[in-house]
Structure 1
Amino acid sequence: MLKLSARLRQAAAELAAAGIDAPRVEAELLAAHVLGTARGRLLLIDSLTDAQDEQLAELVRRRAARIPLQHLTGTAPFLDRELLVGPGVFIPRPETELLARWGIEALAGLADPVVLDLCSGSGALAVAVADARPDARVYAVERSEDALPWLRRNATGTGVEVLPGDVRTVPLPAPVDLVLSNPPYVPLSTTVPPEVGHDPAEAVFAGAEGLDLIPALVERAAEVLRDGGLLGVEHDDTHTPAMSALLAAAWTDVRTHPDLAGRPRFTTAVRKGRAPS
Structure 2
Amino acid sequence: MSLLLDEIALATTRLAEAGVPSPRADAEELAAFVHRVRRSELHLVPDGAFDALFWEGIARRAAREPLQHITGRAFFRYLELAVGPGVFVPRPETEVVAGWAISALQEMDVASPVVVDLGTGSGAIALSIAQEVPLARVHAVEIDPDAYDWAKRNIREHGQGRVRLHPADLADCLPELAGRVDLVISNPPYIPPDAIPRDPEVRDYDPARALYGSGDDGLGEVRAVEDTARRLLRPGGFAVVEHADTQGTDVYWLFPEDSGWRDMSNHKDLTGRGRFVTARFGQE
Task: Give TM-score scaled by structure 2 length.
Answer: 0.91
* Residue of structure 2 equivalent to 1:266: 276
Could you tell me which of 242, 259, 262 is aligned with 1:252?
A: 262
* Residue of structure 2 equivalent to 1:194: 200
Q: Distance in 1 between matches of 2:248 and 2:57?
A: 39
Q: 1:121-153: CA deviations, max 9, x gaps?
A: 001110001001121110000000010111011
Moved more, 72-81 or 172-181: 172-181
- Report SS of the residue matched to 1:107: helix
* Residue of structure 1 equivalent to 2:110: 110
1:241 deviates by 2.5
Structure 2: tracts of 5 or more residues without a match: none
- Report SS of the residue matched to 1:147: helix
Stretches (4+) displaced over 3 A: none
CA RMSD of aligned residues (A): 1.4
Equivalence map 1:170-189=2 (5 Å): 170-172=173-175, 173-174=177-178, 175-189=180-194
**Contact 1:210/1:236 (<8 A) preserved:** no
Aligned residue identity for 1:203:
A
- Report SS of the residue matched to 2:266: strand
* Residue of structure 2 equivalent to 1:212: 220
Q: 1:137-187: CA deviations, max 9, x gaps?
A: 100000000101110111125210001011112234231000010000112
Q: Distance in 2 between matches of 1:228 and 1:63?
A: 46
Whether 2:239 is the aligned partner of 1:238: answer no
Aligned residue identity for 2:280:
V
Q: Distance in 2 between matches of 1:101 and 1:245?
A: 23
Moved more, 153-162 or 113-122: 153-162
- Report SS of the residue matched to 1:57: helix
1:88 deviates by 0.4
Whether 2:226 is the aligned partner of 1:223: answer no
1:48 deviates by 2.4
Q: Report how many aligned residue pairs link the two structures.
A: 270
Equivalence map 1:1-277=2 (5 Å): 3-45=3-45, 46-49=47-50, 52=51, 54-108=52-106, 109-156=109-156, 157-158=158-159, 159-172=162-175, 173-174=177-178, 175-192=180-197, 193-196=199-202, 197-207=204-214, 208-248=216-256, 249=258, 250-273=260-283
1:78 deviates by 0.5
1:22 deviates by 1.5
Q: Distance in 2 between matches of 1:129 and 1:105?
A: 10
Q: 1:212-269: CA deviations, max 9, x gaps?
A: 2111110010001000001100012222222222111220000000112211110000
1:13 deviates by 1.1
Aligned residue identity for 2:213:
A
- Report SS of the residue matched to 1:41: helix
Q: Distance in 1 between matches of 2:246 and 2:78?
A: 30
1:79 deviates by 0.5
**Contact 1:115/1:136 (<8 A) preserved:** yes
**Contact 1:126/1:140 (<8 A) preserved:** yes
1:37 deviates by 0.6
Structure 1: tracts of 5 or more residues without a match: none
1:96 deviates by 0.5
Q: Distance in 2 between matches of 1:76 and 1:269?
A: 29
Task: Give TM-score scaled by structure 1 length.
Answer: 0.94
Percent sequence identity is 45
Q: 1:1-49: CA deviations, max 9, x gaps?
A: x811111111111101100111111101000000001111212321224
**Contact 1:232/1:266 (<8 A) preserved:** yes
